[in-house]
Amino acid sequence: AGKKMTNSKKANGLFLTMTVCIICFYLFGKGLVTGLPVSIRLISSEIVYLIPVLLCLLIGRDSIGKLIPHRAPRISTLLMTILFVLLLEPLMTCLNVFTMLFSTNYVLETRSDLSIISVPLQLICIAVVPAVLEEFMFRGVFAGYYREKGILTAALLSGLVFGLFHLNFNQFGYAFALGVAFALLLEGTGSIFYGMFAHFLINGFSVIITALSDKILPLTGEESIAAVAESMTTETLVNTFCVYAVIAAVSTCLAGAVYIWIVKHSGRTAYLEKNWKGSGEKKVSPVFLIGVVLCLGFMVWRDFWA
């Protein structure tokens, strides 16, 4: 029992340590990388996340192979993962539009920086690197540590951590939803590679759509996708949200059906049923709560006061 509790405590301690590191980087370290190329700046933020995770694994002497399921991917399951991702897109858009009603869309704000680098390099920095590193950290390590609490709790906690570490309310909504979905995908397939693939698809799709929009929109008289977003009134956002909420309600249910198929196809139904709920303590750790409060406090400051 002590070892099991140790895993959860490791996750909570890692969460708080990473929170402090990332907030300090945003407040004091951004100036150090300002003069560096955009691609290096993007990857540097991933490194800030990665260092505490690697140190935690090293100090805890945890076997990555045992902690993170890593079956070789199958073509049939990869194809179903594409469908799973496509069906989650309306939910992402719905949550994105909803949070834009009261918070800043920082992804759109970075478009001017990204436009100076090539699309292939954008794909490497925004799709490939985050897909590998973030899945390793959040679905591999965090969900792996929390697995003793049961698959559902591990998915929710690792998803919450993933959402909070975006440090803004706009990205928090859809990052939390995707974090939960990717954690369930890992457990349902017995492999982290499907989550990496799904993560790459979502980020890559965003890069390509934005790049195409930036070429097509000027022909219609608009400057860029960011300009279009900025010109959207509250009424337009509310109407868009309502439309996507209906679409998302249907598509997310279909995504759930696809997920069940993936689980059955992967032979993981019995595993999920057995481990869906854990036997460990359910009370929330004060260390975890401090991390949550620090993240939320920073997000409020960044979105409303900075």
Q: How far is CA 57 from CA 142, 159, 161, in A?
A: 11, 20, 18
Q: Span 137-159, mean pLDDT?
A: 96
Show the tokens assigned to 285.
């750790």
CA Rg, the chain, in Å? 19
> How far apart, in whole angstroms, are the C-alpha atoms of residue 95 and residue 213?
21
Q: Span 269-286, mean pLDDT?
A: 86
Average pLDDT value for the chain: 91
Q: Among all chains, which residue has been given the structure tokens 């279009």? A: 228
Least confident range of 73-77, 90-94, 130-134, 209-213: 209-213
Show the tokens assigned to 156.
């929710």
Paired residues of 70 in beta bridges: 191
Per-residue pLDDT at 226: 64
Question: What are the phi and psi torsion angles at 79 (to 5°)?
Answer: -65, -40
> Between these two residues, 283 and 292, which has the higher pLDDT value?
292
Q: How far is CA 146 from CA 61, 64, 156, 160, 272, in A?
A: 17, 14, 10, 12, 15
| Distance, first Cα to last Cα, the chain | 45
The residues, any chain, with a CB within 8 Å of residue 112's CB and separated by 6 or more, are 226
Paired residues of 115 in beta bridges: none
For Cα atoms 260, 264, 268, give the angle at the middle one, nearest 5 degrees. 105
126 neighbors 42 (Cβ within 8 angstroms): yes
> How far apart, in whole angstroms, are the C-alpha atoms of residue 19 and residue 3?
24
> Between these two residues, 234 and 281, which has the higher pLDDT value?
234
CA torsion through residues 36, 169, 13, 11, sign: negative
Report DSSP state, residue 224: -
Q: Among all chains, which residue has been given the structure tokens 């854990």? A: 278
Q: How far is CA 7 from CA 16, 171, 198, 228, 294, in A?
A: 14, 28, 27, 46, 22
251 neighbors 88 (Cβ within 8 angstroms): yes
> How far apart, in whole angstroms, are the C-alpha atoms of residue 231 and residue 42?
27
Give the number of other CB atoms < 10 A from CB of residue 16.
Answer: 21
Give the number of other CB atoms < 10 A from CB of residue 177.
Answer: 20
Specify the pTM: 0.93
> How far apart, in whole angstroms, are the C-alpha atoms of residue 155 and residue 70?
17
Q: Examine the pLDDT at 225 and tell me if it is beyond 70.
A: no
> What are the tens digits of pLDDT across the range 8-53?
999 999 999 999 999 999 888 877 887 888 888 889 889 999 999 9
Q: Which amino acid is at 148?
A: E
> What are the tens digits of pLDDT across the range 69-88?
999 999 999 999 999 999 99
